[in-house]
Amino acid sequence: MKFQVHTKETAPEASRATLEGTAKKYGFLPNLFGVLAESPTAVQAYASINKALEQSALSPVEQQVVALTVSTTNDCAYCVGAHSTVAQMVRMPEDMLAALRDQRPLSDRKLNALRTLVLSIMRHRGWVPEDDLDRFVAEGYRERHLLDVLTIVALKTLSNYLNHIAQTPLDRQFASQAWRAKESCTGCLTA
């Protein structure tokens, strides 16, 4: 199977409006959206979830903690590069970004509870142990936060898996944040 990275001109007609809106929002059309454009359903769903996350109870930094935790755990070089760039844009501290990229615990207790919950969700395939949920709640998170976490996990699972299959090339705009999984961490789900 060979996926094309569509442009606004080569994409199926039903995907073009979404690509135009995406290019306007980001100032360029990320390759992920070009690949997703093959399916108007997929590209519209992805863009819609991204738009909905603008109303998230999670802060922009918290959203990037979730996205980077999922993407490093799934060994998605494209999403780690892209979200590392976004993390810098939302002013995530560099030491925190480095820890997430290296799959290490965070020094910020609340954000580490968020990271640990994401790992637990992935490790247990949604059957999260009550102790892990209790630690999350103890740091001030509530049901709405959990639902927003699950939304990001679903979104990143879609993009991570698609990037694996399509071998989506990293955009030059994200090149300074290129990332490769450490062989010893491939697929690790440890806190």
How far is the C-alpha of 177 from the C-alpha of 26, rounded, in Å?
17
Mean per-residue pLDDT, 1-18: 97
The whole-number pLDDT of residue 171 equals 94
Q: Give the integer Cα–Cα distance in Å for 181 and 32.
A: 19
Give the model's pLDDT for residue 183.
59
Domain ranges in the chain with CATH number 1.20.1290.10: 57-180
Residue 153, pLDDT score: 98
Question: In the prediction, which pLDDT does 184 show?
Answer: 43
**Measured between alpha carbons, how far is 182 from 191 in angstroms, rounded to an integer?**
16
8 Å CB contact between 32 and 49: no
Provide CB contacts within 8 A for 131, sequence distance 6+: none
The pLDDT of residue 182 is 72
**pLDDT tens, 55-73?**
999 999 999 999 999 999 9
Single pTM value for the model: 0.93
Q: 135: buried, middle or exposed (CB in 10 Å: 19+, 13-18, 0-12)?
A: middle
pLDDT of residue 190: 47
Task: Kindly tell me if the per-residue pLDDT of 116 is higher than 60.
Answer: yes
Mean pLDDT of all residues in the chain?
A: 94
pLDDT tops 80 at residue 189: no
167 vs 181, higher pLDDT: 167
Q: Which of 1.20.1290.10, 3.40.50.170, 3.40.50.2300, 2.40.50.100 is the CATH number of 57-180? A: 1.20.1290.10
Check residue 175 and give its pLDDT.
87
Task: Kindly state the average pLDDT of the residues 10-23.
Answer: 98
